[in-house]
Amino acid sequence: MREEIIRGLIHDENEMTNHRMNWFLILQGFLFAGIAFAWEKSIGLVIVFSGVGILSSLSVGLLLHLGIDAIKNLQREASEIKGKVVGKKAEEVSKFVHFEPVINFVFEA
C-alpha cells in the first residue's frame, strides 16, 4: 500500500519535472526570438531579454536539482520499507557531464 503511494509521488514529481522543462524551453524560444528582433533596434531590450533568460535558467536548474533530490528521498524511503526498489533508481551524474563535448571541443583546439 505504502509502496503504491511512493510510486505515485515519484510519478508526480517526474511529471512536474517534464512540465518545468517544457515551459522552460518555450520561454527560451520566445526570448531568443525577442533577441533576434530587437538585436539592432534596442540594446537595452536585448540586455533585459538576456537577464530574464539567465534568471530563468538558474531558477529551473535549482528546481530540477530539488526535484531530483525529492525523488532520491522517496526512493530511499521506499527502500527502507521492505528493501524494495520502487521505480528506476536515479543515476549519479557529474554536474558537468552535459558540458563534456563542449569542454573537449574548446580545449582540444
Distance CA(47)–CA(54), nearest Å, equals: 10
Residue 96, φ and ψ in degrees, nearest 5: -105, 10
Residue 85: predicted pLDDT = 55
The DSSP code sequence of the chain is -HHHHHHHHHHHHHHHHHHHHHHHHHHHHHHHHHHHHHTTT-HHHHHHHHHHHHHHHHHHHHHHHHHHHHHHHHHHHHHHHHS---SPPPPP--TTGGGHHHHHHHHH-
Please identify which residue in the block is written with the cell numbers 536515479: 90
Per the document, the length of the chain is: 109
pLDDT digit of tens for each residue in the chain (109 aa)?
677 788 888 888 888 888 888 899 999 999 999 898 888 888 888 999 999 999 999 888 888 888 888 888 888 887 777 665 555 555 555 555 555 666 666 677 5
pLDDT at 12: 87
